Structure formats: structure tokens, C-alpha cells
Structure 1
Amino acid sequence: MTSQPLINADRLWTRLMALAEIGATPAGGVNRQALSDGEIAAWRRVIGWAREAGLTPSTDAAGNLFLTLAGRDGAAPPFLLGSHLDSQPTGGKFDGAAGVMAALEAAISLAERGDRPVRDVIVVAWMNEEGSRFAPGMMGSEAFTGERDMAAIRTARDADGVSVGEALDRLHQAFPDVPHRMLGFAVGSYLELHIEQGPLLEAAACTIGVVTGIQGKKTFQVLIEGEEGHAGTLAQQERRDALAAFARMAAALHAEIGGIDADIKFTIGRVAAVPNAPSVVPSRVVFSIDLRHPDNAVLDAAGAQISVLCREYAPPCAVTLTPLVDAPSNAFDPRLRASIAEASRQQGHTSMAILSAAGHDARHLAKICPAAMIFIPCRDGASHVEHEWAEPDHVAAGASVLATVLREVAFETQSFAAGGHEKG
């Protein structure tokens, strides 16, 4: 067991609950979507806490927030740690926010000890991880790692027609004193704490999940185009009913793709019909597909089959399938994973290896530097819901493990990458 706490657990919990007040919903959750007034307010509060401790804020063209504890060697690749501050419309207090606040607490506790690390320690809050207001998600980390073009990101619009570019400009105007840095600077390593968003840790009565990697994900937008008609006069055999075509497709997709094996995750989460009137045959349907699997070969085959099925069941309507996200499964850095497991053991926490079923920004960072994740349990595995909950002791345990790995990496005289970087 460690003789001295590496973090202030009470301060961490108090600040996490204070952050949850921004965008709080009547049911106890959080609605703090990307680049909204709520996220601007969250930035203001988090930047205030960081500045009090001597950390320096900065941002980039993608609206990522960086809070830097300066190291002794400015040329050494920095250690990034964090997550995201945006939420689902009916999200919880912990998804994303716990990772940012744990990272901030670890960095502040390090600064308070007066121990100046060799390399910069940078707490990061990535822009639009959730993808609830602007699709697709993880725009900030994808822009940072060069996987998505910034010009294309700025053109995406929300349901009200507001573009990412307009919202980004508004965010930056709210912080004229926060300097901008280049998009996509060199990183030594990256670490992210997150609630599991699943039931495995709780079921195993385990406090720390050592994340082995993230299962692969593909998303699509499907457009079905038919023709409007009068519900009372147009014969069934003459109809080009876009909603009927959707019903055929959805049934076939759930049966064929959803039944591939026990590990497949197939979801149609959003459907919009036009004109959406009770007595008009729908002329247009747009729907989303979310497909996940840990085996990239299975994921690719399923993705190809989706296209086949959509075209098979569309007639007499037309269909257009637009891929949005294509993220293969990845494996996290073995040395960082070993450090997480050892820190857990030293602090007396139970730990287990676990694959992430949900996507995270760490997926993209793992392509440019050694990266890893720490999971903590959440009640009933529930997330993206207002009753999402993590116990204070679990939040503190995860943050303490993160702080231990932080100290190990931040004080190394050579880059952590020298120990080996595993790509999936």
C-alpha cells in the first residue's frame, strides 16, 4: 500500500459533482453537448481550477482544451492524459468528465508536491467525443491525429443547422486569453481513465480494469428515397414507400447482421421520416447504423453485408449508404498496461484485463503514441443515461492509479515509447 495519497480524493469528488451542475437535468443527469453554452461554462470552470494550481491553458483549431504542467525539458514529448467534457443529451455525471477531472487532480497533486516532471504533463479534454450534437463523434482526437480533415469537420451541422465551424468560432471567442497551439503536436504517451460503461467490473467485484484494447466500430448513414402519395387514394402496389422499405431493411439487418455471433453489436439508433405526416406516404427516410465487433475480419464482412442487404430490400425505392466511421479494433500499449496493473496491486486494488466495448478517444491516440486506458466500475453497467453512477471510492482508486502511472512516465528521462509501442 502507498504510504501517502497521490491525490486529494475529496477535492476530486467535490469538483466532479460541481462540474455535473453545468447542464444538470431534472432527472439527475447531464446535458452538456459539444461546443454548447454548457461546455463553454465547463471550460471556464476547469480552466479556473487549473490556473489556480499553476497549469497553463491552451487550445487548437479543433477546440481541444489543453492544461499544461510544465516539465524541465520542453523538448521531451509530453505525457497526455484526459478524456472529454461533452455529454449525451440525457447523459450522466461521469462519462468523460471523470477522466478529465481525475487527470486534472493527478496533475494538480503533482504540482502541489513541488516535484517538477522531466516532460510536460498535459491534461486534455477532447472536442465532441460523444457525437450527439455533431456527427460523427471523436472529432477532436481525429483532427489531432490527422485522421479527419479540419475543413470537413467544420462543415458538419447539428439538428438546428449550426455548423461545427460556427460553434468552434463561438467557443474560441469566449476565451480570447487562451492561446492557440498547433493542431497535432508530438506526444510521448497517452492515458485515459473512464467508467467501464458495462457490467463486467461490477460483476467481478473488481475496482480497476486494465483495458486491453477497443473493439472495432463502423457507422453508416442510410438514405432511402421514394415518393410521396395520398394515404387514402394511392394503391399499395403503386407506392414507393420509403418507410416500408426501411421496415424491410431493418428486419433483414437485425436478423442477418445482428445474428452473426454472440460478440456482434448492431444498432439502428436514429430514424427520421419525411414528411412525417399521418396521411402521407413517406418519401424519404434517413437512419443510422452502429456496428461493432472485436474481430476486424468479422467487422469488415458484416459491413460489406450491410450494403448488400440495404440494396436488396430497397426497391422500388432508391438507397444511398454513406460510411461515417471506420475504426478497426486496436490493442493498447503492453508496458502501460503492465504499469496500470502493478500500480493497482501496490495500492491494494483488485484489477482485471478487459476489452472496451465502447469507443474512446484513446483509440485514435494509440495510432500515434503508446496509449492505454483505466476503467472503473459503474452501477449496473449503465451509461449514456441520467442515472449513470460511479462510487466515490472507485473514482478515487482509478485516479490514484492514474497518478502513479503519471509519476512513472513524467519523470522518465527517455520517452516511454522506447519501451515498445503496440499497434492493433
Structure 2
Amino acid sequence: MTNTLEVDGSRLWETLMASAEIGATSKGGLCRMALTDADRDMRDLFVRWCTEAGLSMTVDQVGNIFARRQGTDKTAKPVMIGSHLDTQIRGGRFDGILGVLAGLEVIRTLNDRAIDTIRPIEVVCWTNEEGVRFQPPMMGAGAFAGIHDIEFVLAQQAEDGAVFGEELKRIGYAGETRRDPVDIDSYFELHIEQGPILDEEGLSVGIVTGGFTSFGTQVRFHGENAHSGPTPMRARKDALVGLATLVNRVNEIGWEFEPKGRATCTRVEISPNRYGIIADEAEVTVDVRHPNAAQSQEMFDGVNAAISSCAQRANVRAEIVKQWSFGDIAFDTALINLVRSVAADLNVSHKHLLSAAGHDAYHLSKIAPTAMIFTPCRDGISHNEAEDVELDRTLPGVNVLLNAVLRRANQ
């Protein structure tokens, strides 16, 4: 099959800009956290667009949306294209969103050309990829792949006490379908790179071969309230000092594994967080990543070793609330070769990359052949309202997606 198809770039951009109005922030970004009203409104718009494109819609028990274009072989397993429509609390207009709406544009283009495929093609919107309001991240894809139990997902609580399952019902996306994770031929995910390599090197496509090995831990320090004035230093049990000491050590670990290692603390909570009172509790979330699994483990071991010493120095007790890991995966060789072949046929500049971020594709790779395609984002900025892309630099990757999916769907 010749790879000559191109999507309608103007239509794709109009679709992206319509999305950018839902949950828009004053600085040009988006705040569309999972299962909020803004998430519901975006889901409703996506469902309408898919219905207008002639797709059949299903929603599973954790709110994942599947939009299916039937193939000529009704017994064939589908090729899936997916990503997410939820955003960070102050996120950009393209992170995840481009992948879902590029999938919709693939369908629209095939409809325009009246091109049938042997296999069905499904565009998927995964629930709660970002993990901002409900943890862990990549939750919907994890439930689909059998990484998380459905009951576990539905029971998760936000900081304001909202329960995942109840919020799904409130916004109208508590589905009844329970998909069999083996009922999938392959999965493609297009995503902005969220890093500077493609932009700096003037390349159009990153063919993702795998992910950084990532570890995380949530640590709570237990101290004791006391007056910040009269209490002698030797008598203090300051939970905030334990947290601060750990934050500093995590940062040092990151620098020790430069240039490839990453280590930071992303979230803190202090109690009572009031003037004049020594903190009795302080909680911090730690994130370490490295492309080499052994070195990532070494970094994480260093973090765990530091926790007890930081608590001892602050005269407090440390509790590990939870720990997790993801990303130690390699994507499917055959699909990588397919994407590379299509990029070459289309004369699209490309290179192999590892992803330093987490993606739904990580979970899908555990159950089906999976490929990821990166497109450039300006200056590598992401998880930021200033996140931006240029259409003419994005379209080559979307066209690679279109033609790669078409080839796979006709196998």
C-alpha cells in the first residue's frame, strides 16, 4: 500500500482550538482535571464529534470512551488510537489532547476518502491520565490493562473528599462495559514530546522505543505541634524540617546522576501550616527517573536510605505512605519498524527516542503491540500554560500516524 494520505490540517487545528476553549485559563492554557465539569463538557463534545463521524460509542466502568469505526471483517480485533483529554491544573492545550483529536482526524480522513479497513479502528479517550485530582496517574488505561482493579479505581478519593466512582456518575460517564484487554490488535499513541529534542534538532517525528524507568514515593513525617518561639531547638519535633531535609537530598541525587537522571519533589502538604506553630505533619511526593533501569533503582534506593536519616535529624518519625514505579518498558519492535518505514516513505525526518514522561501507552504495552509517535512542542515546554505547537511541524507526525494505522488495520 502506498503511503500518500494526508489529514486535513485546518480541520484538525479547528478541533484543537475548540477543545482549547473548555477549561481555558487566563494565560492561554487549560485546567481540565479528570471528572470535573470541564472534563465532562470536553467528553460531551468529543462524543458528539465521534457520533457525527459515524462511530459507535461505548464507555467502560472507569469512564474510558471507545469510538469505533467498523472494519470489513467484523471478527477482527481493532487497532486502537488513544490518549487523554484531561489536563494538569495549569496545563497546556495539546498534552494528550493532540493524540485523541489526531485519532479522530484519522477517522475523518478515512471517511472523506471512503476508505474501508479490514480491522475496526477505535479512537480511545483514557480517563485520568494526569493523576492530578485522583491518583495514581494513567488510571483508566491501567484499569483497562488489568494493572488496577476496577473497585480500587472507583474508590479513589480526591483531596476534597470526592470519590472517583461517584464523580463518574455525576458527570454521566459511569459506563457498564467491561472490555476484555486481549480484544485488541494493537495500540498507537501520538503525543507531543514534552521535551526539547525534536524542536532543537528540527525533526518532525520521534519514534519512541521505550520509557525511562520511574519511581515515586509518598512520605509523611510525624512530628509534634509546639510554639515556634519558646520551644528550644533541642526539644523540637518539626515535621517540616524532616520534609525540607529530604527535598534537598532528593535534589542532590538528581544532580549526582546528571545529565540523564531526574529527581524532584512535586507536592507537599503541611499541617497545621499556620504562623507560630511547629508542624506536626508534613507530606511530600518524590519522583525519580532515569533511562537506565539499574541507575534509576540506585537513585530510588538513595531516596529510601535518606528518608530515615532525614527523620532522625529532625527528631521526627517517617512513614512511607505509598510507592510506585512505571516506564521500564520497550515498545513493540514490529510497530516501531512500521512507523519508521512509513516516516521514510513520507520523507518525514525522524529519530528514535525514549520517553521521560508517563503515558497510557506504557500500560497498553503490557497487553498488546504498542507504538508511540512524538511530535515537536515549542522549546520543549509542557505541563505549563505556555505549552505550544506549530501546525506545520505537527502534521507530518499526524500523517505518519494515519498511514501507519491504515497499514496495520489492513493486515
Counterpart of 1:101, as a letter, is: L
- Cα separation, 2, equivalents of 1:256 and 1:381: 23
Aligned match of 2:347: 348
Aligned match of 1:421: none
CA spacing shift, 1:175–1:197, aligned 2, 3 Å = closer
Counterpart of 2:355, as a letter, is: S
- Cα separation, 2, equivalents of 1:409 and 1:86: 28
1:92 aligns with 2:55: no
1:318 aligns with 2:317: yes
- Cα separation, 1, equivalents of 2:249 and 2:273: 23
Tell me how far 1:115 sits from its aligned partner. 2.4
CA spacing shift, 1:288–1:183, aligned 2, 3 Å = farther
- SS across alignment from 2:266: coil
1:221 aligns with 2:252: no
Tell me how far 1:258 sits from its aligned partner. 4.0
> When the two structures are superposed, what TM-score results if normalisation uses the length of structure 1?
0.92
- SS across alignment from 1:285: strand
Aligned match of 2:8: 8
Identity %: 36
Counterpart of 1:408, as a letter, is: R
Counterpart of 1:380, as a letter, is: D
- Cα separation, 1, equivalents of 2:27 and 2:254: 35
Greater Cα offset, 373-382 or 240-249: 240-249
CA spacing shift, 1:384–1:221, aligned 2, 3 Å = same
Tell me how far 1:145 sits from its aligned partner. 0.6
- Cα separation, 2, equivalents of 1:376 and 1:78: 24
Counterpart of 1:180, as a letter, is: T
- Structure 1 contact 143–184 (Cα < 8 Å) conserved: no
- Structure 2 contact 59–173 (Cα < 8 Å) conserved: no
Aligned match of 2:201: 204
CA spacing shift, 1:19–1:256, aligned 2, 3 Å = closer
Aligned match of 1:135: 135
- SS across alignment from 1:132: coil
- Cα separation, 1, equivalents of 2:231 and 2:184: 62
Greater Cα offset, 300-309 or 384-393: 300-309
- Cα separation, 1, equivalents of 2:288 and 2:3: 46
1:309 aligns with 2:306: yes
- Cα separation, 2, equivalents of 1:293 and 1:241: 32
- Structure 2 contact 5–403 (Cα < 8 Å) conserved: no
Aligned match of 2:274: 277
1:116 aligns with 2:116: yes
Aligned match of 1:406: 405
Tell me how far 1:255 sits from its aligned partner. 2.1
- Structure 1 contact 257–306 (Cα < 8 Å) conserved: no
- Structure 1 contact 69–111 (Cα < 8 Å) conserved: no
> 5+ residue gaps in structure 2?
none
- Cα separation, 2, equivalents of 1:210 and 1:232: 58
Counterpart of 1:89, as a letter, is: I
Aligned match of 2:239: 242
Aligned match of 1:33: 33
Greater Cα offset, 103-112 or 53-62: 103-112
Tell me how far 1:179 sits from its aligned partner. 6.7
Counterpart of 1:322, as a letter, is: V
Query: Which of 286, 289, 299 in structure 1 is aligned with 2:286?
Result: 289
- Structure 2 contact 85–100 (Cα < 8 Å) conserved: yes
Residue deviations 1:191-234 (CA, integer Å, cap 9, x gap) = 00000000000111101111111111111111000000011221
Residue deviations 1:5-32 (CA, integer Å, cap 9, x gap) = 4321111110111111111111100111
- Cα separation, 2, equivalents of 1:356 and 1:336: 16
- SS across alignment from 2:219: strand
Counterpart of 1:13, as a letter, is: W
Aligned match of 1:386: 385
- Cα separation, 1, equivalents of 2:350 and 2:304: 41
- SS across alignment from 1:270: strand
What does 1:166-205 align with in structure 2 at a 5 Å threshold? 166-171=166-171, 174=172, 180-182=177-179, 184-205=181-202
Tell me how far 1:185 sits from its aligned partner. 4.9
Aligned match of 1:416: none
Q: How many residues align?
A: 408
Residue deviations 1:74-104 (CA, integer Å, cap 9, x gap) = 3222101111000011111100000000011
Aligned match of 1:55: 55
Give the aligned CA root-mean-square deviation in angstroms: 1.7
Counterpart of 2:212, as a letter, is: Q
- Cα separation, 2, equivalents of 1:8 and 1:289: 42
Tell me how far 1:183 sits from its aligned partner. 5.7
Tell me how far 1:330 sits from its aligned partner. 1.3
Tell me how far 1:175 sits from its aligned partner. 5.5
Counterpart of 1:231, as a letter, is: S
1:265 aligns with 2:262: yes
- Cα separation, 2, equivalents of 1:277 and 1:393: 51
- Structure 1 contact 30–89 (Cα < 8 Å) conserved: yes
Aligned match of 2:24: 24
Residue deviations 1:18-76 (CA, integer Å, cap 9, x gap) = 11111111110011111111111111111111111111111101111110001122322
- Structure 2 contact 62–165 (Cα < 8 Å) conserved: no
- Cα separation, 2, equivalents of 1:3 and 1:371: 20
Counterpart of 1:368, as a letter, is: I
- Cα separation, 1, equivalents of 2:151 and 2:126: 18
Residue deviations 1:148-199 (CA, integer Å, cap 9, x gap) = 122122222212111112112223xx259x7734363521110000000000
- Structure 2 contact 58–65 (Cα < 8 Å) conserved: yes
- Cα separation, 1, equivalents of 2:296 and 2:52: 47
Tell me how far 1:260 sits from its aligned partner. 3.1
- SS across alignment from 1:345: helix
- Structure 2 contact 250–265 (Cα < 8 Å) conserved: no
- SS across alignment from 1:399: helix
- SS across alignment from 1:240: coil
> 5+ residue gaps in structure 1?
413-424
Aligned match of 1:335: 334
